Structure 1
Amino acid sequence: MNHTPENSASLSEVHQSVDTTKNRPRWRKLLAFFGPAYLVSVGYMDPGNWATDLAGGAQYGYTLIWVLLMSNLMALLLQSLSARLGIVRGRDLAQANRETYPPAINFMLYILAEIAIAATDLAEVLGMAIGLQLLTGIDLIWGVSLTVLDTFLLLVLHRYGIRKMEAFIISLVAIVGASFLVELLLAKPALTEVAKGFIPHIPDETALYIAIGIIGATVMPHNLYLHSALVQTRKIKRDDQGIRQAIRFNIFDSAIALNLAFFVNAAILILAAKVFFESGHTGIADIRDAHMMLDQLLGNKLAPILFAVALIAAGQSSTVTGTLAGQIVMEGYLSLRINPWLRRLLTRLLAIAPALLVILIAGEEKVGELLVFSQVLLSLQLGFAVIPLIHFVSDKQTMGTFAIRWHVKVAAWLIAGILVYLNVKMVYAEAKDFITSSHSFWGDAAIIIAGIFFLFLLVVTVFYPLFNKYKQASARMHTSKASLGELTHPNYYKIALALDFSQQDQSIISHALSQGNTDTEYILIHIVESASARWFGKESYDFETQKDQEQLDTYVALLKEKGINAKGVLGYRHRAKEIVRLVKEEKADLLVLGGHGHTGIKDWIYGETVNHVRHYVQVPVLVVQ
């Protein structure tokens, strides 16, 4: 765990890792921008959305398809604003909040964001567990427990870069889309009836409640944090033309990806309308009930299998993007970075614990209520992501000529108002039901205090940016004056070199020599990693240790022949920790080591070495590729 610099890049390990500035045909340049919105789109088709889609289709047929379309248009506008923030200012939403709001408010916003991410992960855990149960028949409690095994999936995907991660997510999205396409072909809905569903119409109050649920579950707050960071994985030309091109291509990316999400949600609603509504089974709203009835009503064994497979793929894709959002939120708000696997494990445990407790204490039949509760928690956070975002992209001081136009601003505030109103209304209804059924004074008091705090924080979020200038001058566009101060050339008198006795050593030594002067001492470090050395440390004197010492002595002797002051030091056991220890022990003022550039197991080993060392040494680190 360590604190990141105030101006550190969002998702620094993949920041600007995809170069879009090369001269390529227009279609290839467009494809280079495609990807971030697909990672975002999975949040719009995660298991948390399925219940509202099923309920809408089963109870009202095709009537509420227009609500899905309207929700999708809202999401498209807000996600395009999120992408604009990341492209123009080079800030994700969490970083922009930290630069704007006071520390106390900032911390509260961070806590709400973390709760929202935990709630999102809870929905994904339950969705995947239910999918596993439907597909294999295992108990739900074991399905929930098994979801912890995907904790390290993101860590593995990180090794292969952002493009491979995007390809993995797109593959899962394709599985979900293909599954429901086949489901629709099996169900054979009447297209004329489906078309009528695009005409706005609310039959009764219950339909209005379901419509509110659909809209409220559409825009996920963590997606706004995520999109503003993911667009920064593209390296673009930082002139007006390059920025405009990036904004335009990301709008295309968002439109295609979110329309795929719309297709999935619409397919769930249409499937429920055709199979359940038309057969009179209007009470279907639970995912497991829907799975069971598909086999009976369609008379096809493939339909329920595809339903379960799609549910697992939706949950698995969402779990990766949820972890990325958690990393962005923690680093952006707190300027704090922890290892991805630890971040993943903490988030997953926060989701598994309540799921296991509910199953053990109340039984599997209460899982549906827990899924609804997770959506209520998400609703609490939505306004605190949407409102600051609109403030940031509307500000001409920081966005320059890329600030949104007045008509876009009006549309954005209208959408924000609708979303906040609907979510406040839903939360109020849940709180009212709780207070009505509760006979606990302290429980009622806690709900009322939480409501007052919620409204206070909402008011501050809306009005604070209107009366305060942004703190960070570095975030402003087109700064008129800039000064680098007095530049001095650093002198290094003790340079440490981490060597692995490969062909890369020559390059490492050459780069190290270029940083020194005639008075510099060079400390050659090599870590012995034999089984004996790992166990006995410096007490070991096995064959590998002897050969490594001979090789190190040879390097030192060759350097001394050239008049270079050098000495060799062997380390033992853990490679990264030993390099850090020896650098500190030898009081080196610069470390030079090799970057990985390997595949397979070496990529894992050397990638971890560089990452660990650069976080724990207190001197500059030069990584030689």
Structure 2
Amino acid sequence: MQSQTLHKVMTGLFVPQLKGDGATGLAISLLGAMVMPHNLFLHSALVLSRKVPRSVQGIKEACRFYTIESAFALAVAFLINVSVISVSGAVCSSANLSPEDQISCKDLDLNKASFLLKNVTGRWSSKLFAIALLASGQSSTITGTYAGQYVMQGFLDLRITPWIRNLLTRSLAIIPSLIVAIVGGSAGAGKLIIIASMILSFVLPFALVPLLKFTSCKTKMGPYANSSLITATTWVISSMVMAINTYYLVTGFIKVLLHSGLHTAAIVFAGIFGFGGMLVYLAAIFYLIFRKNRKTTQPLLSDDAELESTGNIASIVTHLPREDITSMQLP
């Protein structure tokens, strides 16, 4: 039984299938919820929070350590998501489900998902699931707050008192969601999560493409630019993300038009505006892809030949103080 489950999990990882109504939309929302484009800005900004020697070797050491940190965090997130999906599939495909659980599996949402842990944790399943949701919500809100801080400083040069900044960013994140939860109830909140995650996936190219171009450009990064293999791999993955987003937008909009029940003239005008908006969306992405990098802004190095001659830069990096990211100001 365990070998069959493992086989199905591995098959699902390497041979993905989109079955059922709305499967593509759920896949897009899952992608947006996992990657979260604002976290790309956050990870880049966190590099500035650690004091490292401004030398060639010092920057390479810092890049290596941050690669390990990011890979570990993403691997843990990946394993958690695989575990959640695997448990859901294993429970809902069981032949011994009660009629109530079968109904829950047909329309599975956050309100009904706690029963998935019932066979393992018993009556504590709902409590543990609630704690997990609270923890994930706090993590998402905190990262959004930090990312908002760096975007405000880096793009808008807007620097305000930390407690005011935290109040504004958290209020902007919580108040709209709270209103939807009060008006629409738990069902409305669940739909809002899916819609918000899908929007994150749609805006992902606007954060991902500039990041890939920047880190792969020798004019910008000099010797720290991505290798040809990493560049090719990341662009292939990014192209797949953009392709599935475009596919869902086009097919979803066509379905809405066909089942809208509007008059022919209204459908024509809606189609013009809808597909016009999609063309603008694609044009903006292509502009970012083909925009030329002309300005040279390679990392500045300090006069630290003495540090490099000691051959002990790794220990120096370890003992340098890390600035509190809540009060860190970008240069």
- TM interval, short-chain normalised: 0.7 to 0.9
Distance 1:352 1:398, change over 3 A: closer
SS of 2:10's partner is coil
Q: Map of 1:181-192 to 2, 5 A cutoff? A: 190=2, 192=4
Conserved in 2, the CA contact under 8 Å of 1:376 and 1:426? no
Conserved in 2, the CA contact under 8 Å of 1:226 and 1:325? yes
- Deviation readout 1:421-442 (Å, 9 max, x if unpaired): 1222233344334444544677
Q: Report the Cα offset of residue 216 of structure 1.
A: 4.8
The CA distance in 1 between the partners of 2:120 and 2:222, in whole Å, is: 57
The CA distance in 2 between the partners of 1:204 and 1:235, in whole Å, is: 46
The CA distance in 2 between the partners of 1:376 and 1:211, in whole Å, is: 9
Structure 1 unaligned blocks of 5 or more:
1-188, 480-607, 612-625
Distance 1:283 1:315, change over 3 A: same
2:15 aligns with 201
SS of 1:206's partner is coil
Alignment counterpart, residue 137 of structure 2, candidates 312, 315, 329: 315
Q: Does 1:412 align with 2:234?
A: yes
Conserved in 1, the CA contact under 8 Å of 2:29 and 2:201? no
The CA distance in 1 between the partners of 2:246 and 2:163, in whole Å, is: 35
- Deviation readout 1:16-44 (Å, 9 max, x if unpaired): xxxxxxxxxxxxxxxxxxxxxxxxxxxxx
- Deviation readout 1:259-306 (Å, 9 max, x if unpaired): 2112211221222123222245342430111124644x5571122211
2:278 aligns with 451
- Deviation readout 1:469-505 (Å, 9 max, x if unpaired): 12xx5x33469xxxxxxxxxxxxxxxxxxxxxxxxxx
The CA distance in 1 between the partners of 2:176 and 2:218, in whole Å, is: 44
Runs of 4+ more than 6 Å apart: 440-443
Q: Map of 1:47-86 to 2, 5 A cutoff? A: none
- Deviation readout 1:209-262 (Å, 9 max, x if unpaired): 355554454321111100001021111112221111111122221222222112
Conserved in 2, the CA contact under 8 Å of 1:275 and 1:298? no
TM-score (norm 2): 0.75
Conserved in 2, the CA contact under 8 Å of 1:397 and 1:477? no
2:69 aligns with 253
1:107 aligns with none
- Deviation readout 1:134-187 (Å, 9 max, x if unpaired): xxxxxxxxxxxxxxxxxxxxxxxxxxxxxxxxxxxxxxxxxxxxxxxxxxxxxx
Q: Does 1:268 align with 2:84?
A: yes
Q: Map of 1:110-509 to 2, 5 A cutoff? A: 190=2, 192-199=4-11, 200-202=14-16, 205-206=19-20, 209=24, 211-279=27-95, 281=102, 282-292=105-115, 294-295=117-118, 300-438=122-260, 439=262, 447-464=274-291, 466=292, 468-470=293-295, 475-477=297-299
Conserved in 2, the CA contact under 8 Å of 1:291 and 1:304? yes
The CA distance in 1 between the partners of 2:151 and 2:124, in whole Å, is: 41
Distance 1:204 1:361, change over 3 A: closer
2:321 aligns with none
2:316 aligns with none
1:131 aligns with none
* Aligned AA (1:306): L
Distance 1:211 1:365, change over 3 A: closer
The CA distance in 2 between the partners of 1:299 and 1:350, in whole Å, is: 36
Larger helix proportion, structure 1 or 2?
Answer: 2
Distance 1:461 1:377, change over 3 A: same
Q: Report the Cα offset of residue 375 of structure 1.
A: 1.3
1:55 aligns with none
Larger radius of gyration: 1
2:315 aligns with none
The CA distance in 1 between the partners of 2:239 and 2:88, in whole Å, is: 30
Conserved in 1, the CA contact under 8 Å of 2:54 and 2:300? no
* Aligned AA (1:339): T
Distance 1:355 1:211, change over 3 A: closer
Q: Report the Cα offset of residue 366 of structure 1.
A: 2.6
Structure 2 unaligned blocks of 5 or more:
302-326
The CA distance in 2 between the partners of 1:203 and 1:373, in whole Å, is: 21
TM-score (norm 1): 0.42
Conserved in 2, the CA contact under 8 Å of 1:358 and 1:367? yes
The CA distance in 2 between the partners of 1:202 and 1:350, in whole Å, is: 36
Distance 1:373 1:445, change over 3 A: farther
Distance 1:254 1:347, change over 3 A: same
Q: Report the Cα offset of residue 403 of structure 1.
A: 1.1
- Deviation readout 1:431-477 (Å, 9 max, x if unpaired): 3344445446776665444323212211211111x2x412xx5x334
Q: Percent identity?
A: 34
The CA distance in 2 between the partners of 1:340 and 1:361, in whole Å, is: 32
SS of 1:412's partner is helix
Conserved in 1, the CA contact under 8 Å of 2:31 and 2:201? no
* Aligned AA (2:149): Q
Worse overlay, 235-244 or 434-443: 434-443
The CA distance in 2 between the partners of 1:377 and 1:421, in whole Å, is: 15
The CA distance in 1 between the partners of 2:53 and 2:69, in whole Å, is: 19
Conserved in 1, the CA contact under 8 Å of 2:41 and 2:147? yes
- Deviation readout 1:372-429 (Å, 9 max, x if unpaired): 1101211221001111111111111221111111111111110110111122223334
SS of 1:336's partner is coil
The CA distance in 1 between the partners of 2:235 and 2:272, in whole Å, is: 32
Conserved in 2, the CA contact under 8 Å of 1:221 and 1:382? yes
Which of structures 1 and 2 has the larger relative contact order (alpha carbons within 8 angstroms, sep 6+)? Answer: 2
Aligned-CA RMSD value: 3.0
